[in-house]
Amino acid sequence: MSQGALDTVLVPFRREGWPFIAGFALVAVALALIAAPLGWIGALLTAWCAYFFRDPERVTPTEAGLIISPADGLVQSIGPATPPPELGMDGGERIRISVFMNVFDVHVNRMPADGVVTALAYRPGRFLNASLDKASEHNERQSVRMTTADGKDLAVVQIAGLVARRILCWVGDGQQVGAGERFGMIRFGSRVDVYLDDGMIPLAVAGQKAIGGETVLARSLQSGEDASARTGEVR
């Protein structure tokens, strides 16, 4: 097996996942004692649990002004929306880029840009399907507001999904952060929204697969450029 293939399979796991992996493994042993076929089912579920908590390294673009995807998953939508009110981001709607993570995606979340965290806000809520637009308003969420290195006001919001029951956020107010730096995760299916500032142009396309810490979602707008979202097609 090539080194590249080994790096894909042999990835580190988040320590937050070990209690879950151990629990699944104990259940698998108990099922095996009841019946061998049940043990194999338990083993497969244990393998999936370990796979869920994987935490691979990523190569983050370092060009100034780029906004990097905070999550692996599908770029579900790009369009105007109002940021969470608890962040105090006055000014009405902003361009929002939503990335939906299914249960097979990496769920470690990464900061979208270099800068400083200026506000954190947690709000309990419901657990609707994260692919629904109303999930941004009604679901449990953890919001992070930041000022980027080039002075832009940006927000990234972790949203719990249908089976997600715990949002983890590892950054603090006033903390200096870097693009691609791990800042949290959501357990078992979820979504992450990024709210852009004025003067930022989306570069992603709805329906595109994003890689957290690597895929460029947007960048600061240059003079004369159109700030509308791009279009794409399946090829």
**Least confident interval from 3-7, 40-44, 133-137, 190-194:** 3-7
Give the model confidence (pLDDT) of 49-93 as tens digits. Answer: 777 778 889 999 989 899 999 999 999 999 999 999 999 998 789
Angle at which helices 18-34 and 36-52 pack, to 10 degrees?
170
What is the value of pTM for the model shown?
Answer: 0.83
Q: What whole-number distance in Å separates Cα of residue 99 and Cα of residue 127?
A: 17
CATH number of 66-220: 2.70.70
Phi, psi of 45 (to 5 degrees): -65, -35
Residue 189 binned pLDDT confidence (cut-offs 50, 70, 90): low
Residue 1 binned pLDDT confidence (cut-offs 50, 70, 90): very low
Residue 72 near residue 226, CB atoms below 8 Å: no
Return the active site residues. 190
Q: What whole-number distance in Å separates Cα of residue 182 and Cα of residue 178?
A: 9
Q: What whole-number distance in Å separates Cα of residue 96 and Cα of residue 146?
A: 15
Q: What whole-number distance in Å separates Cα of residue 187 and Cα of residue 58?
A: 20
Residue 207 near residue 196, CB atoms below 8 Å: no
User: Taking 70 as the threshold, does the pLDDT of residue 165 lie above it?
Assistant: no
Walk across the sheet containing 216-220 and list its strands. Answer: 66-68, 216-220, 200-202
Residue type, 23: G
Residue 42 near residue 197, CB atoms below 8 Å: no
User: Strand runs (DSSP E) across the chain, as ranges?
Assistant: 66-68, 73-81, 94-101, 108-110, 115-123, 141-148, 153-160, 167-169, 176-177, 182-186, 190-195, 200-202, 209-210, 216-220
Residue type, 208: Q
Q: Where are the domains of the chain?
A: 3-52, 66-220
